[in-house]
Structure 1
């Protein structure tokens, strides 16, 4: 029946990409990227603005099969200078 609805509206999911987000604030989100928008981006940046500081998360694409991929949360890079005690 869903196929009948797509045929009636002239839309198709044959070439659309199904993308799952893993980790961070977008964990569990599923996005269907229409084929007309081209290939999924290799990296997606999510910026969360609120009363505090800006929080940025980056997700890297891991293609699984044709038209299916997973965006994995990129691990944070720790600033070694902040983690080490001051010499003195």
Structure 2
């Protein structure tokens, strides 16, 4: 049995989230956009892909992101 591919999120509203995939994706997304709708202004957070040899990859909150759009 192979190890699952782990994706971690660092910073912003997804901080601490961990997703497990059955295998390494052939072409992982370079960025992930998270849009928070809460009855007020729309808030957009952008995460950039970084590889972590130990477990897979992590998406880190882009500096300066999370401002109201």
Sort the TM-score into its range (normalised by shorter chain). 0.7 to 0.9
Which structure is larger by alpha-carbon Rg, 1 or 2? 1
**Alignment equivalent of 1:55, drawn from 19, 43, 51:** 43
Equivalent pair of 2:5/2:24 in contact (CA under 8 Å): no
- Runs of at least 5 residues in structure 1 that lack an aligned partner in the other structure: 1-11, 78-88
- Runs of at least 5 residues in structure 2 that lack an aligned partner in the other structure: none
Aligned-residue Cα RMSD (Å) equals 2.3
Q: TM-score, normalised by structure 2?
A: 0.75
Name the count of aligned residue pairs: 65
Question: 1 or 2, which has the higher strand percentage?
Answer: 2
Question: 1 or 2, which has the higher helix percentage?
Answer: 1
